[in-house]
Structure 1
Amino acid sequence: MADKIKKGTLVRAIREKLENSLEATASDTRFPSYLFDSDGEIVDIRGDYAFVKFSVPTPNIWFRLDQLELKS
């Protein structure tokens, strides 16, 4: 899937992969529902990570590419 993700692609976070990740253990695990229920847009990609912007007024977030799914 990583080859299909590029800037401007619409994605959603995958709950199971995010909740059980190393990143989740390092921060608050009460993830807001918009991460899983709304679409985010890829703003930047660096290595195995994508910077995602959501339409809600919150800061952009870095996700590992395997924690994202393409909007269907």
Structure 2
Amino acid sequence: MAVKSGDLVRAVREKLENSLESQASDSRFPPYIFETKGEVVQVRGDYALIKFGQMPAPNVWLRMDQLEPFK
């Protein structure tokens, strides 16, 4: 998936749960990253900085293959 700034996305649970990123940090991901829309703020290499604006939450870097368009 080609991701660019301004796109609305959400995380794909199956791709994120057993990833290197989940092993390197707390593997209890908040439900909102899978259920609500996030906006791509910045793209750097294979990663995108996602801002979830529906509630106060920190921005998060995710690999682009762990994202899908929000519908």
State the TM-score, normalizing by the size of structure 1. 0.93
Aligned match for 2:13, one of 12, 15, 26: 15
Offset of residue 50 of structure 1: 0.1
**Residue 46 (structure 1) aligns with:** 44
**Residue 58 (structure 1) aligns with:** 57
After TM superposition, which residue ranges in structure 1, 4 or more long, deviate above 2 angstroms?
none
Structure 1 gaps, min length 5: none
Partner SS state of residue 30, structure 2 = coil
The CA distance in 1 between the partners of 2:36 and 2:12, in whole Å, is 12
State the TM-score, normalizing by the size of structure 2. 0.95
CA RMSD of aligned residues (A): 0.6
Alignment coverage as a number of residue pairs: 70
**Residue 27 (structure 2) aligns with:** 29
**Percent identity, aligned pairs only?**
63
Structure 2 gaps, min length 5: none
Offset of residue 71 of structure 1: 1.2
Aligned amino acid, residue 47 of structure 2: Y
